[in-house]
């Protein structure tokens, strides 16, 4: 049995709620959590040993970080459709083939966000279509360089680390 869901905040992307939930151990807790529409992440393979990695400025942490291309699902959009849209937008490439690798919950302690991870192959150069708040540098990176960047602490984005792990690269 669950208590009443109360919306505390509604933003452009996120909604913050509080709710009392009863746990399997019989106790009840009051949670604060973010409802997120979900996202898709793409591991774009140019060749078997070469991927496209992006170096993106993240204003919330005031820093550039290495990431794989990803984006938030739009209203009623499927993860696959989102992946097809985001790969072009952020990298300037489209892909012939998408294979679902799995899904992750990056912060299940306070968010419903679920990221579906895809491998993309058969890339073709297109025109990128960055959003006005996106500052992105596209990098072509081979497997050994990805592992080196990770070991040096240069790849710190959790969803990117998970996706590379799903591909067997980390």
Active site positions, annotated: 132
- SS3 label, residue 15: strand
Name the helix (H) or strand (E) containing 70.
strand 70-72
Tokens linked to 155: 């790849």
**Contact partners, residue 134, CB within 8 Å, separation at least 6:** 56, 90
C-alpha span between 17 and 111 (Å, rounded) = 10
């Amino acid at each position: 049995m669950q208590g009443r869901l109360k919306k505390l905040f509604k933003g452009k992307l996120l909604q913050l709620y509080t709710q009392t939930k009863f746990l399997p151990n019989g106790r009840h807790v009051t949670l604060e959590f973010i409802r997120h529409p979900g996202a898709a992440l793409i591991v774009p393979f140019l060749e078997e040993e070469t991927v496209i990695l992006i170096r993106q400025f993240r204003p919330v942490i005031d820093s550039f970080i290495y990431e794989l291309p990803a984006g938030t699902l739009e209203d009623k959009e499927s993860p696959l459709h989102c992946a097809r849209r985001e790969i072009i937008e952020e990298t300037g490439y489209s892909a012939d083939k998408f294979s679902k690798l799995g899904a992750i919950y990056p912060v299940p302690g306070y968010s419903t966000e679920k990221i579906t991870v895809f491998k993309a192959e058969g890339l073709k150069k297109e025109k990128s279509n960055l959003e006005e708040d996106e500052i992105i540098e596209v990098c072509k990176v081979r497997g050994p360089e990805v592992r080196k960047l990770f070991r040096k602490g240069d790849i710190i984005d959790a969803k990117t680390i998970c996706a590379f792990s799903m591909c067997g690269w980390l």
